Structure 1
Amino acid sequence: MKENFVRRPGRPRPVAVAPPRPAPPEPAALAAKVRTMTPSMTRSMQRVAETVASDPAGCAALTVTGLAERTGTSEATVVRTARMLGYPGYRDLRLALAGLAAQQASGAAPAVTADISVDDPLSDVVAKLTQDERQTLTDTAGALDLAQLEAVVTALAAARRVDVYGIGASSLVAQDLAQKLLRIGLVAHAHADPHLAVTGAVQLRAGDVAVAITHSGRTVDVIEPLQAAFDHGATTVAITGRPDGEVTQYADHVLTTSTGRESELRPAAMSSRTSQLLVVDCLFVGVAQRTYETAAPALHASYEALAHRHSPARDR
């Protein structure tokens, strides 16, 4: 059993407690769960996961033996795949597949959209991206752990200082979160330079918050400063598409994001940004609500300052 804690230096080792079993994913969230968990699966498990996501109606009609034969795997592999996707057993996965097939047939849940190809007209590109973005947001909202979100909002609202780490596409999201928090009066910094990130992280202490944003969950330049912040007693948060990624080892709180369909023209780092921004907006609004008496005047002041700079009548 994996222990649901990470030891902090200088603190007594807590007693391991089995985490409560989460509710199985809703049928419409199955495809998103497959996208999230597939990279962590063996090749045989990937075949099972991809098959059920692409043909829920057909697979719902199969017994565990039938699905094993269809995917060229074993019954044990099918059961392990079902459990990794969040279902207690194959029976539960099969019921979810039947529900998803019914939703797709009624139009309540969209069918899996096709990848964007190099020959697609722009009208198809717009339609496919719109559908994918919409589904990504729905999947992220459905899988978001509200208890974890509440805990992070509480920590941010009371923080002396907030450091946010992100590299590449995630650095844009890190900057967005830091700027939003700054506008409501919090002290927040976004770090895209790994050296500066670690330098800042070792200055953090209890009462501070460090947030790492990484889709893969294994970006070293993000993990290192989060670990340093963790070791120095700060409250640590991981926003990631891989809840089993290394970054979560140093996170007090984990917020999981969904990923849109990855293609040759749209890598995962780009498709994940939509879900990351949704989580950032949820955090910002939650903190603004908690700190409304100070946040509202600060937000108004920043708005007025920026409006003044954009005014054509501004003194030169």
Structure 2
Amino acid sequence: MKENFARRGGRSRPAPVAPRPAPPEPGALAAKVRTMAPSMTRSMQRVAETVAGDPAGCAALTVTGLAERTGTSEATVVRTARLLGYPGYRDLRLALAGLAAQQASGAAPALTTDISVDDPLGEVVAKLAQDERQTLADTAASLDVAQLEAAVTAMAGARRIDVYGVGASSLVAQDLAQKLLRIGLVSHAHADPHLAVTGAVQLRAGDVALAITHSGRTVDVIEPLQAAFDHGATTIAVTGRPDGEVTQYADHVLTTSTARESELRPAAMSSRTSQLLVVDCLFIGVAQRTYASAAPALHASYEALAHRHSPRDAGR
């Protein structure tokens, strides 16, 4: 969550400061690098990508040695370690040693290679499957469970839930909204930015607005979330950029894995995989919290759909 002063209900208020999270476990280091690298400076990216690509070699280097290997400075190495969640370089080295041991034992898979135009179709299938697995693992590793719990609590007690997304993210928004409708919650997915803002200004305390944007800077998603925030609704952002503009108006931020874009696989495809995982986590959490009402509502929706698909109705 951004540490800023945002207007709500005509008053300024500081966003609460979250407790400092524990350093990532060794197995989550590569996921953290993939999530944070796009928002780093180029010199910090070199450090982050080098340690993720060769944890064993980097674990043996001093801070000076890693700075020389990456063509950066000792200060850049230390700043990179801290941005990745480690108090200092010594803690990062310990994590690198742990990651190297996991990779040596086969517990931590190596990064997948890009798909090339000459790859046989069977190899494409294998690479895509591995990339999907890695995307899900990265998202699970970087997801803040405390933020997820808070988002679930807000949604479970909400009078109304509006979901915003455009492009590929609009498909994810629609998926969440229809899931919530099936357990009896009032939910709307707005892909049209005008309708989204129109609905957002009607929200109040007790309502929830949820924005889905991988880049964290999609204006058509940020504007309605800001409007909902200003009118007192609880706001949630699902984004691949925890430092993106959308988080300025989010009470709760759920981070997805950063997509590995290539010529043959646009970022939208792999980012949607991680977004769908977060959506499923939200839905299951809400269904658990509202089980007494969710179970009969879900049963009723199954019955209604089963009737429509009944063979007796074929041809009618």
Per the shorter chain, which TM-score range?
A: over 0.9
Q: Which string of whole-angstrom CA distances, capped at 9 and with x for unpartnered residues, describes residues 142-200 of structure 1?
A: 22211111111111111111100001111111000000000001110101111111111
Pair 1:219-2:230 in alignment: no
With structure 2 as the length reference, what TM-score do the two structures score?
0.95
Pair 1:48-2:47 in alignment: yes
Distance 1:116 1:44, change over 3 A: same
Q: Report the more deviating stretch, 4-13 or 228-237.
A: 4-13
Pair 1:159-2:158 in alignment: yes
1:1-316 matches, cutoff 5 A: 4-10=3-9, 13-14=12-13, 18-314=17-313, 316=316
Q: Is the 8 A contact 1:59 1:94 kept in 2?
A: yes
Question: Using the alignment, how far apart are the partners of 1:188 and 1:5 within structure 2?
Answer: 29
Give the secondary-structure state (helix, strand or coil) at the position aligned to 1:272.
helix
Question: Using the alignment, how far apart are the partners of 2:14 and 2:45 within structure 1?
Answer: 35
Distance 1:204 1:125, change over 3 A: same
Distance 1:280 1:256, change over 3 A: same
Q: Is the 8 A contact 1:217 1:241 kept in 2?
A: yes
Q: What do you get for the CA RMSD once the two structures are aligned?
A: 1.7
1:17, distance to aligned residue in structure 2 (A):
6.2
Unaligned runs of 5+ in 2: none
Unaligned runs of 5+ in 1: none
1:26, distance to aligned residue in structure 2 (A):
1.4
Q: Is the 8 A contact 1:209 1:234 kept in 2?
A: yes
With structure 1 as the length reference, what TM-score do the two structures score?
0.95
The alignment covers a number of residue pairs equal to 315
Question: Using the alignment, how far apart are the partners of 1:127 and 1:142 within structure 2?
Answer: 22
Distance 1:227 1:18, change over 3 A: closer
Identity percentage of aligned residues: 86
Distance 1:132 1:196, change over 3 A: same
Question: Using the alignment, how far apart are the partners of 1:233 and 1:78 within structure 2?
Answer: 41
Question: Using the alignment, how far apart are the partners of 1:9 and 1:147 within structure 2?
Answer: 23
Q: Is the 8 A contact 1:132 1:260 kept in 2?
A: no
1:59, distance to aligned residue in structure 2 (A):
1.0
Question: Using the alignment, how far apart are the partners of 1:66 and 1:86 within structure 2?
Answer: 21
Q: Report the more deviating stretch, 286-295 or 245-254.
A: 286-295
